[in-house]
Amino acid sequence: MRHDESVPPTPRRPKPAAAAALTVLCLGIGLSGCGGESGAQAQPGKGGDPAPSSASASAPASPATPSPASTSPAPSKKPASPAPSTPAAASGPLSGKTVVIDPGHNPDNHLHTSEINRQVDIGTTHKECDTTGTSTNSGYAEARFTLDVSHRLRTLLQAQGAKVVLTYDDDRAFGPCVDERARIGNKAGADAVVSVHADGSAVGNRGFHVILPASVRGGGADTSKIVGPSRDLGTRIAGLFVRATGSAPSNYIGGNTGLDTRKDLGGLNLSTVPKVFIECGNMRDPKDAALLTSAGWRQKAAQGIADGISSYLNG
C-alpha cells in the first residue's frame, strides 16, 4: 500500500479511459499490437505465451482458486508453503532469465507488531521493517491478495522458462523486512524484480499505478544504475496491465500516467537490479475492491504483469 490453473476469462474491451491511457503508454514504449482487446494474447517476443496451461509437468501446482466468475475473497487459511525459490519450469523465451516476485507485506504481520515496527536502514533514512498492509472493507487482506497474484504470476513466468524466486511464500511468521526484500533480489542477480501490492486510499480513488525508483544516493543506497531500466520495466508493465485487465491508471496518483516515482521506499532504494512496485488497485474503494476480490480479475492482473516483464526481458 502507499505506504493458477485457470485460463484468463473471455477478453473484454478496455473502458474508454483505460483505452486512452493504453494508447499513451503503448506509444511511450513502442509496443506493436498493444492496443488490442483487454486480455488478448500477447505478441511473440513481446508478452510471451500468456497461457498458464503451457507449463511443464515439473512446475509446482498453484493453490486452488475459485472460478473466474467468483467475487468472494480468498480463504484466510494458509496454503501449503512451496519452496520460496523454484527452478525454471520449461524452456521458452525467458529461459536463462531470473525474475524475483515480492508479495507485499505478510498476513501475520499484525501479530508481530514489535518486530515489524523495528527500524531498518533504507540508505537515506530509517523506516519500519514492514507494515501490515491494508484490506477491503470486507476484510480481504492485501497480503492475501499479493500472495495469490504472485502465485499466478510465478506460474505464467515459469511457463516461459524463467527461474522465479519469491521473497517469501507464507513460510515465515512476519516480514521479510524491506531491506531483506531488496537483498533477496540483489543476491539472485535478478533480471527484473516486481513487488506486488494493492493500495489503501479514499473511496473514489481508483485504478492502478506502478512505482519507479527515484535517483537516490546516500548511505547504502545508489539507484543510479537501475533508474533507467526500472522505468522501462515499469512503463511496459503499466501499458500491458491496462490491456490485460481493462483497468485505467490511477486517478489520484501519477497524473493519469499510471507511473509514480518515489525515493522513500527501501525496497527500491536498496535494489541493485531493475525493480518496480505495482499497486494493482485501491482496496478501500468498493468498485476496485470488487475487482481485487475476483479470482478471474486477479488472473488478468497476473497476466498483465507477466506480459510487461516478458516485454522488458525480450527487449
CB 265 within 8 A of CB 176: no
Q: What is the CATH number of domain 16-32+92-314?
A: 3.40.630.40
Note whether 239 and 28 are within 8 A (CB): yes
Locus of grid cell 512503463: 235
Burial profile 117-149: b = 16 or more Cβ within 10 angstroms, e = fewer: eeebbbbbeebbbbbbbbbbeeebbbbbbbbbb
Confidence at residue 223, expressed as pLDDT on a 0 to 100 scale: 98
* Cα 97 from Cα 192, distance rounded (Å): 9
Cα(309)–Cα(46) distance, integer angstroms: 9
Pairing of strands 163-166, 85-86: antiparallel
* Segment holding 120, helix H or strand E: strand 119-121
Residue 165: which of 228, 101, 212 has the closest Cα?
101
C-beta separation of 164 from 305 below 8 A:
no
CB 125 within 8 A of CB 175: no
Active centre residues (catalytic):
279
pLDDT attached to residue 22: 55
Res. 28 pLDDT band, cuts 50 70 90: low
Q: Which residue has the cell 478471474?
A: 296
pLDDT tens figures, 29-83: 555 445 433 222 233 333 333 333 333 333 333 333 333 333 444 444 444 444 4
